[in-house]
Amino acid sequence: MTLSCPLPLAAKDRILLGHGSGGKLSAELLRDVFLPAFRSPVLNRLDDQAVVEAGGARLAFTTDSFVVKPLFFRGGDIGSLAVYGTVNDLAMCGAEALYLSAAFILEEGFAMAALRRIAESMARAAEAAGVEIVTGDTKVVEKGSGDGVFINTAGIGLAPVGLSLSAANARPGDRILLSGTLGDHGIAILSEREGIAFETPAESDSAPLNGLVREMLAATAATAATAGIRAMRDPTRGGLASTLHEIAAQSGVGMALEEEAIPIREEVRGACELLGLDPLYVANEGKLVAIVAPEAAEAALAAMRRHPLGARASMIGTVTGAHRGMVTLKSVFGTTRLVNMLAGDQLPRIC
């Protein structure tokens, strides 16, 4: 190549914020740093949780760190988020979360009252999700070295025997089910952070999904000997688009979505219009997307809709053998466009 400039900026010498966005940069970090260092076949599957055999049991194991700002927001706080996030990662392989750890990195000077409020919220969340926080850790860093409080939780649960849900399992013809409206959490956080006041403020959807998953598994187990549900994911950071890209890449399939079928709340749509954001990339904390065999799709959808957290569940598209590794969206005008995977965070546009 004879190109002198602009040199493509390889994001390799320093960590950028985009490395934490769940997009392409996050995937590069895994590929270039962690996977080669840890060399674990279980880790290489890149599922939201590890399923390992130990002492004759199938254990599901996961961990997640929470650095959300603001700490308290409409519909939740960092404490409930830390509990539900880990419960949900376990639920996505069909496992019931049993025990959680909680580790706190506290910044010198952080208000005790706020910490107490967070701990109480975690206790309530654990009770709601039916898990117990059984071990933990506390570290304090100097003022300026942290941002109030960071929380890490890890969780273990029992994975059901004979059920193997993985993002590598999607097959052409499978249906794509979404448990409810998109973008509620991300927009709630953003409006609070930016101090944007909307007439009907968005509220985070932060919630434990294990109950919903239980209903779905019960409803589909009878449908077919082969697992009716192939894969489940909670589309958190990076949103639905990034989650579907991951499944498409891991399964070697394409994803074809129908714009009209994707439920989005009015207030979230409004905020996205105003801020120049696409709800497909906005974070959710109480939603799941399921890839389901066609013969089990109706039963799974009906089960989702019976549960309060799946009341607005919808069949949003189909897995295809065409355009492998890509996600497309059919618009209300009948035209089809590509849904790209973002490199980093979604950035507000100038105009």
Partner 1 sequence: MKFIDEYRDPKLARSLVAEIHKTVTRPAVLMEICGGQTHTLMRYGIDELLPQQVEMVHGPGCPVCVTPLEIIDKAVAIASMPGVILVSYGDMLRVPGSESDLFHVKAAGGDVRIVYSPMDALRIARQQPERRVVFFAVGFETTAPANAMAVWQAKREGLRNFSILVSHVLVPPAIRLLLGLPGNRVQGFIAPGHVCTVMGYTEYEELAAEFHVPFVVGGFEPLDLLEAILMLVRQLEEGRATVENQYARSVTRLGNEPARRRMREVFEAAHRKWRGIGEIPLSGYRLRPEYAAFDAEQIFGVETRQVEEPAECISSRVLQGLAKPVDCPAFGTRCTPESPLGAPMVSSEGACAAYYQYRRHADVVMP
Positions touching partner 1 (CB under 8 A) are: 1-9, 11, 14-18, 24, 194, 266, 269-270, 273, 275, 322-326, 331-338, 340, 343-344, 347-351
Contact 273, 192 (CB under 8 A): no
In angstroms, the CA 195 to CA 181 distance is 23
Residue burial 86-120, b: 16+ Cβ < 10 Å; e: rest: bbbbbbbbbbbbbebbbbbbbbeebeeebbeebee
Q: Which is nearer to partner 1, 76 or 254 (CB)?
A: 254
Q: Which is nearer to partner 1, 28 or 298 (CB)?
A: 28
Q: Which is nearer to partner 1, 92 or 187 (CB)?
A: 187
User: Could you report how far apart the first and last alpha carbons of the chain are, in Å?
Assistant: 35
| Token pair for 130 | 């039916």
Q: Where are the beta strands (DSSP E) in 24-163?
A: 50-54, 57-66, 72-73, 76-77, 96-107, 132-141, 149-158
Q: Which is nearer to partner 1, 139 or 337 (CB)?
A: 337
In angstroms, the CA 24 to CA 28 distance is 6
Q: Which is nearer to partner 1, 40 or 331 (CB)?
A: 331
Closest approach of partner 1 to the CB of residue 326, in Å? 6
Enumerate residues 6+ apart whose C-beta is below 8 A from 48: 62, 89, 92, 93, 233, 234
Closest approach of partner 1 to the CB of residue 225, in Å? 34
Where helices occur in 222-265 by DSSP H, the ranges are 239-251
Q: Which is nearer to partner 1, 18 or 180 (CB)?
A: 18
Contact 96, 210 (CB under 8 A): yes
Closest approach of partner 1 to the CB of residue 200, in Å? 11
Place of tokens 């089809």: 336
Closest approach of partner 1 to the CB of residue 30, in Å? 17
Closest approach of partner 1 to the CB of residue 178, in Å? 20
Amino acid identity of residue 63, one-letter, is T
Closest approach of partner 1 to the CB of residue 161, in Å? 37
In angstroms, the CA 189 to CA 5 distance is 38
Amino acid identity of residue 261, one-letter, is A
Closest approach of partner 1 to the CB of residue 300, in Å? 29
Q: Which is nearer to partner 1, 124 or 193 (CB)?
A: 193
